[in-house]
Amino acid sequence: MEPKSNMVEEAARIVDAATKNGVTLRLLGGLATRVHCEDLTFCVRDYSDIDLVGLSKEKHEIIDVFETLGYISDTRFNALHGHKRLKFEDTTNNRHVDIFLDHFDMDHDWDLSHRLHVEKYTLPASDLLLMKLQICKINEKDIRHIITMVKDCDIGEKDAPHV
């Protein structure tokens, strides 16, 4: 089955297929923020890729899921960086999927391996917010994500969906 053109639907299809195969994958980044967004006029934009986080111990199973879903492995990238990150191409829709394994390492290194079971499709909203707040060189897109998370998600003392 070919990837869907709608990126939110495709991201859900990926997570559902992974879950069905006993593999843990969760959305992060712009599409994860979009899932939590209630005011679509504020947060809808063009998305260039799908960002996910998974477990390094499930790396081979992740590769199997993506091959089954019709993605092409970026073999060079995956050979060089596969211990911490994987990349797959959707040639039908001209986009790619980035998968971070255990950690999200941009401005700071975040161990997310223990945060993947709070919500069904995304990292917890609190983690999505913190990942944006730690950015050293922030841009308008990141600021919109921060505003979305603060205005559309509940504030709470415990991990729960949409908190």
Identify whether 82 is part of a domain. yes
State yes or no: pLDDT of 163 exceeds 70.
Answer: no
pLDDT-derived band at 15, boundaries 50, 70, 90: very high
Domain CATH number, residue 136: 3.30.460.40
- CA gap 115, 142 in Å, rounded: 21
Asked if the structure places residue 107 within a domain, the reply is yes
Return d(Cα 17, Cα 13) in angstroms, integer: 6
Report which secondary-structure segment, H or E, holds 12: helix 7-20
In angstroms, the CA 90 to CA 156 distance is 38
In a domain, 133, yes or no: yes
Count of domains observed in the chain: 1
Mean pLDDT of 115-141: 89
Q: For residue 95, how many other CB atoms are within 10 A of its CB? A: 17
- pLDDT score, position 99: 98
How far apart (Å, rounded) are the C-alpha atoms in residues 61 and 162? 28
For residues 108 and 124, the model is more confident at: 124
Is the residue at 158 inside a domain? no
Tell me the residue range of the domain where 132 lies: 7-152
Phi, psi of 110 (to 5 degrees): -110, 120
Point out the least confidently predicted range of 54-58, 97-101, 142-146: 142-146
2 part of a folded domain: no
Residue 160 binned pLDDT confidence (cut-offs 50, 70, 90) = low
Does residue 163 form part of some domain?
no
Assess if residue 159 is contained within a domain: no
What share of the chain in percent tops pLDDT 90? Answer: 55
Check residue 156 and give its pLDDT.
Answer: 73
The whole-number average pLDDT for the span 17-37 is 92
pLDDT score recorded for residue 134: 86
Q: Could you tell me the two tokens for 129?
A: 């917010």
* Average pLDDT, rounded, for the chain: 89
Per-residue model confidence as pLDDT tens digits over 35-91:
887 776 766 677 789 999 999 999 999 999 999 999 999 999 999 999 999 999 999
* SS3 category, 17: helix
Is 161 inside a domain boundary?
no
